[in-house]
Amino acid sequence: MFLRRMAAVALASALALPAVVGVTPAQAQPGNAVVFGDSYTAVPDQFYNHYRSSSLSSGLVPADYPRASGGCLQSPNNWPRKMQQQTGVPVVDRSCTAETSLSMLGKIDAAIRDGHLHGGTRAVYLAIGANDWGPFGRNEGANSSDVPSMTERFSHNLSRAGAKIRAVAPGARIIVTGMPEITNGTGLCLIQVIPNLPLGIPVPGHQVENNIREMQRVGAERNGMIFVDNYALTRGHNTCAPDASRYVAGSIDVTSPAYTMSLHPTDLGNEVLARNNGAALR
């Protein structure tokens, strides 16, 4: 029981780190895509992210490090940026660490005010939902012990998001992107120090991950949105996967492909997520 609680805390903490988003005027042109998401999309450098949210000098974060309109930090190699490189479609990334399906609604309003989400927008990505189950969702009143209520709450927030988006961009595709696989179904591998020998603790991974996946799928279906299943895509590439094929980093990790945030997508994972999410543009 203690190990499961520790694993739950580790996963919730990883999803709860704060973040930011950056855009340029060129990205607000007709035919653009706008991305809203949490830390699994933003994946900023975890040390910079910590400095930004602490009492330490903000000078520790390089002035040219990517950040969003609201100040959220973002990795220069996250999947929205890779998707823009792969597809040639201009992308406005407004993802922010700690985002929930409820707090995202304010980000959508801000994107409309800033002119990033407009009548010429081609697609809007909602990469959201995991934080609804953690401390940020609970602070908003979400009851993660009641799975049906979580689905209803998420669907309601997607309905509100869809109304805002369709009011200004009626022709845009609205795409809900799913989470990648993080556990191997029964364990979360936190320590990657010995090559190809990840070490972890037992957790009911499939149960938790499937709850999130179904919530996202059902919410998209009820609201006439496209659902991209990144969970099926990333099966076998979780924190417990061999080093070279690991899409999600561990906590104490020196063997995974390059990454910026513990228990979040590696650069390899971002590459794959960008390709899968980008396919929904066509």
Read off φ and ψ for residue 47, nearest 5 degrees: -75, -45
- Residue type present at position 18: P
Torsion 211-131-273-187 (CA) sign = negative
Where residue 129 falls (left for φ over 0; alpha for ψ -120 to 50; beta otherwise) is left
Query: Hey, how many other C-beta atoms are within 10 angstroms of the C-beta on 245?
Result: 14
Tell me what pLDDT residue 168 has.
98
Between CA 117 and CA 51 the distance in angstroms is: 30
Between CA 87 and CA 89 the distance in angstroms is: 5
Token couple for 65: 């490090």
Tell me what pLDDT residue 273 has.
98
CATH superfamily of 2-281: SGNH hydrolase (3.40.50.1110)
Q: Give the DSSP letter string of 15-73.
A: HH--------GGGGSTT-EEEEE-HHHH---HHHHHHHTSSS-GGGS-TTS-B-TTS-B
Token couple for 162: 């869809």
Tell me what pLDDT residue 17 has.
37
pLDDT < 70: residue spans in the chain? 1-28, 53-58
- Residue type present at position 19: A
Query: Hey, how many other C-beta atoms are within 10 angstroms of the C-beta on 194?
Result: 11
The separation between CA 186 and the C-alpha centre of its own chain, rounded to angstroms, equals 22
Contact 247, 53 (CB under 8 A): no
Contact 265, 211 (CB under 8 A): no
Between CA 10 and CA 157 the distance in angstroms is: 26
**R_g of the chain, CA atoms, integer Å:** 18
Question: What are the structural domain ranges in the chain?
Answer: 2-281
Between CA 116 and CA 106 the distance in angstroms is: 14
